[in-house]
Amino acid sequence: MSAPTVRRRRLGTKLRALRGEITLEEVAERSDGAFVTSKLSRMETAKSAAKARDVERLLDLYVELGREVSEELRAALVTLTKEGGQRGWWHSYRGVLTPVYEDLISLEAEAESVSTWSLGAIPGLLHTAEYAREIIRATAMSEGVEARVDALVEVRLARQSVLMREDPLSLWVIISEQALRSTAEGDGVMHEQLGRLLAMGKRPNVNIQVLRSDAPLHVGQLGSFTLLGFGPHADLDVVHTESLTSALYVEESDKVASYRDAWQRLTSAAESVEASAELITEIRKNT
């Protein structure tokens, strides 16, 4: 059995919330044989992939039981179920990517918005090829990564297609000034990368802010994080955090809300989008 993906866990969490105080046995009994308790439990705990027709049937049952299921929520959950079984372009890199990284790419592909606070490096969705190559090598903690650098750079660049699709992802990043002033081994790497930031910042779906190094102490000093938003249903939002040897997804609504509050604090502490572009331009002159 494959490990539960973030998509499956998000679906299961929402189905569990809709069930409320009703027991699994009661749901199974009311389903006229469509469900047994073990199947419902596996759906809620993400131990098995749900089928779209089962989710539809279960939502119909919850409506009969008095639960509020809007058409928007129904569509979001059914889409979540269907996309969970689809193979994205990243599946061709399965021997290169970790399951956690695959989850991140699939979530980016499904999200409506991504809000990222980056303390030490420029976010991957805005990388140039050469900057991606250097940062992958610099942060690699195993010798095996060196053999996969070219493929990982390809993946990093392919992820950026979400910013140029017909219905583009809305990206808002806050980058520490320290990350912009880092030096790279290759000549012109940072100059090109900062130019990439300036060019992408002109797109209507991309906002870039810089948090100055001399800013007062702030919540972002506890570490970088990314908030992936899925439209009007904030309870489907997910936070991704990453450390040296592992990554973590935060899915509990109260904890996601805390990160959302932290994000708002950071947007207020950072330079405006216009002032940030001026600062990036100034830094670039010296690279």
Cα–Cα distance, 190 to 188 (Å, whole number): 6
| Per-residue pLDDT at 2 exceeds 50 | no
Q: Band the pLDDT of 88: cuts 50, 70, 90.
A: confident
In this prediction the pTM is 0.82
According to CATH, the topology of domain 6-84 is 434 Repressor (Amino-terminal Domain) (1.10.260)
* Per-residue buried b or exposed e for 83-117, using 16+ beta carbons within 10 Å of the residue's own CB: ebeeeeebeebeebbeebbbbbbbbbbbbeebbbb
pLDDT at 91 over 50: yes
Predicted pLDDT of residue 106: 86
Task: Name the nearest CA neighbour of 83 among 58, 56, 52.
Answer: 52
Q: What's the chain's Rg over C-alpha atoms?
A: 21
The pLDDT tens digits for 191-204 are 999 999 999 999 99
Quick one: which of 197, 9, 226 has its CA closest to 104?
226
Domain ranges of the chain: 6-84, 89-285
Q: What is the mean pLDDT of the chain?
A: 90
Indicate the fold that domain 89-285 takes in CATH.
Endonuclease; Chain A (3.30.870)
Question: pLDDT over 90 for what percent of the chain?
Answer: 63
**Greater pLDDT, 2 or 199:** 199
